[in-house]
Structure 1
Amino acid sequence: MRSFVMAVMAAVTLAGCEQAQLGVDDAWVRLPAVSSRPGAAYFTIKGGADATSLLGVSSPAAVRTELHEMKHEGGMMTMTPLKDVAIPAGSTVKFEPGGKHVMLYDISPEVRAGGKIPLRLAFANGKTIEVEAELRAPGQEK
């Protein structure tokens, strides 16, 4: 019985030492209404034990990508490119419509709503994370 109690205590102690791990969830891409226009990628980044920055996102389905952010300025919505995006330790950073997002330029004509494409996120700490992003039609939110 004593060894069982010791094993449980050790497990509880180790669980408390578990460190947050950098991760990406809920990735999706809104395809453009006109094929010559860019699409937009959205996802949620969960910060790890240490702060880092998102440096860029790439996909074999797009020729070029850019990090952007929408903001209200002077009563108007503006979109500005971002060099990188800070990911504080243990925090959540959302890329969502009307906020931070990734513009996908010259998307492959084979890409269709209902499918998936890979997104590769590169971070300042040297880590890369690849996720499958669900493809949604123009105007489709979920």
Structure 2
Amino acid sequence: MKTGLLIPAIVMMAACHHPATLSVDKAWVRLSPVTDAPASAYFVLKGGAKDETLTGIAAPDAARAEMHENISHAGIESMDTLKLVAVRAGGAVPFALGGKHVMLFGLKPGIKAGSTTPLIFSFASGQKITVNAKVMPPGSSAPAD
């Protein structure tokens, strides 16, 4: 066996490596400063070995959850509803302040800063991922890891 060919093959395999599983990281919820206004959820979707599509998010502690994206067009800020979100294999899709986010309407009154709340992510493949999001007070930035 020629060992000179083995090293480049290992380097190529490492460069093409994608995480094996789809995941949701750094999930958190920011409470609204206004009573009865929706809270917002943020997180990072991390693609697995294959492309995937996020089809929805459920929040058992909220009456309803909707995916949105803040956009700016000609200096005018607006928010669009997202029905689907593509997650590329090995890629990352941030849901972050000023961009994509989830609005949580009718959050149960017992949900307070310092607690956690579950978020259930549904994908086109049928896969579901449940994470516990850290609940933060109004005006918070993303929590430190």
- Which TM-score band (shorter chain)? 0.7 to 0.9
Task: In structure 2, list runs of 5 or more residues that go unmatched.
Answer: 1-9
Q: Deviations over 1:80-106 (max 9, x none)?
A: 001110001110000001000001000
Aligned partner letter, 1:25: D
Aligned to 1:66: 66
Aligned to 2:7: none
Contact 2:18 2:49 in 1 (8 A): no
The 2-side partners of 1:125 and 1:58 are apart by: 16
Percent sequence identity over aligned pairs: 43
Aligned to 2:31: 31
The 2-side partners of 1:98 and 1:45 are apart by: 16
The 2-side partners of 1:108 and 1:125 are apart by: 30
Residue 22 (1) aligns with residue 7 (2) = no
4+ aligned runs moved over 2 Å, structure 1: 15-20
Q: Deviations over 1:12-59 (max 9, x none)?
A: 9xx968852100100000011112100110000110111111111111
TM-score (norm: length of structure 1): 0.86
Shift of 1:140: 1.1
The 1-side partners of 2:18 and 2:75 are apart by: 45
The 2-side partners of 1:38 and 1:19 are apart by: 34
Aligned positions of 1:1-142 closer than 5 A: 19-141=19-141, 142=143
Distance change (3 Å), C-alpha of 1:20 and 1:108: same
Task: In structure 1, list runs of 5 or more residues that go unmatched.
Answer: 1-11
Contact 2:18 2:48 in 1 (8 A): no
Paired residue total? 129
The 2-side partners of 1:92 and 1:64 are apart by: 25
The 1-side partners of 2:87 and 2:117 are apart by: 24
Aligned partner letter, 2:93: V
TM-score (norm: length of structure 2): 0.84
